Amino acid sequence: MKRFRTEVAVIGAGPAGLCAALEAHKLGARVTLIDENALPGGQLFKQIHKFFGSKEHLAGVRGYEIGRQLLKDLERSAADVMLNSVAYGVFAPNTVGVVQRGEHYAIEAKKIILAAGAKENYMSFPGSTLPGVMGAGAAQTMINVNRVLPGKRIVMLGSGNVGLIVAYQLMQAGASVEALVEAAPNIGGYGVHAGKIRRAGVPILTSHTIQEVYGDGCVEGVMISQLDQNWKPIPGTERAIAADTVCLAVGLNPMTELAWMAGCAFTFLPGLGGHVPMHDANMRTTVPDIYVAGDITGVEEASSAMEEGKLAGIAAAASLGYLDDAGAELRKNEVRARLDSLRTGLFGEKRQTAKQEQMRRMEEFCQRKDRV
């Protein structure tokens, strides 16, 4: 086992982790960025669509272009980057266990920023383990990163933004999307995304669900049926759709294992994807030297993940003395204002409410702890 020390260890080199590492490094902290993949960037490199929001949120810029810029900034920096490196545990005192190509490292950091992201939810139904049934994110990685088409005839389950965007990108990559199936009575994602695939002739079947996926050793078709007001299948509405691939876009949940292991206090917020580590306005958890940023704090978007990363990076560097209190507050407030403006509109507001509830519970937790 090799041991070394660093000032700020950042786990996860997606949008949140990259921004956290860059920000802390820019302020003078010694940073080690750890990611299990061969390349940094996380999900950014599969996001070939343009971002929404305002100019300072890089609206109109495509995800992978943002990723490239961040990687350039990272290359120019002197931050240590450990790739192909699995951070498997957080131990006392402030030590991250990492395995890189069979080599074992114990990295002792003054501050640890957890930016592990989120993972896709799965759904089980008869045939859900057949080859050809996959997460929509997996299909997106195949087409946009690896340039491999997972199949020719796709059925997408779920009409949130992931389902809508990936369905469109699968068509751009040359596949035919046979149907987009949504159990709710309304489309989940942005109208502008839904409009694009509607105009391309893809039926979006709301109040429908997958009964079964059938096939001999691989996906050959999907049996769907209509749902009534109580989300129960209506007998007689079953219909078969020929397909070779089924993509599941049924939500994400935060990858919180390291935060659990580090002893962070959690709270349950369905609006953010389930159990999330509580954090304060500096992204600091209930364990004083551990910060969180991005989807691990609740599933949102790359733009808010980047801002949360910056906030955590600034806060961690400031706590190490690289910024005075007034300077730190100024920078942090800029980021907080951008985060607030990202969390507006029909979709943003829901997240803003959930985030505010999270913050309220964190305050309550700290007060209770003080009293004890």
Point out which residues bind another protein (CB under 8 A). 1, 89, 91-92, 95, 97, 104, 106
**CB 77 within 8 Å of CB 25:** yes
Nearer to another protein, 91 or 122 (CB): 91
The distance of closest approach from Cβ of residue 89 to another protein in the complex, given in angstroms and rounded to an integer, is: 7
Nearer to another protein, 203 or 263 (CB): 263
Tokens of residue 112, six digits: 């640890």
The distance of closest approach from Cβ of residue 274 to another protein in the complex, given in angstroms and rounded to an integer, is: 20
The distance of closest approach from Cβ of residue 123 to another protein in the complex, given in angstroms and rounded to an integer, is: 23
Q: What is the 3-state secondary structure (H, E, C) of 206-273?
A: CCEEEEEEECCCCCCEEEEEEECCCCCECCCCCEEEECCEEEECCCEEECCHHHHHHCCCEEEEHHHC
**CB 8 within 8 Å of CB 79:** no
Nearer to another protein, 85 or 95 (CB): 95
**CB 321 within 8 Å of CB 141:** no
How far, in Å, CA of 94 to CA of 339, rounded? 29
The distance of closest approach from Cβ of residue 106 to another protein in the complex, given in angstroms and rounded to an integer, is: 5
The distance of closest approach from Cβ of residue 353 to another protein in the complex, given in angstroms and rounded to an integer, is: 34
Nearer to another protein, 36 or 178 (CB): 36
Nearer to another protein, 102 or 235 (CB): 102
Residue found by looking up tokens 């409410």 in the block: 353
What is the three-class DSSP state of 325?
helix
- Our CA dihedral for 96, 97, 98, 104, rounded to 10 degrees, sits at 140
The distance of closest approach from Cβ of residue 309 to another protein in the complex, given in angstroms and rounded to an integer, is: 26
Nearer to another protein, 97 or 233 (CB): 97
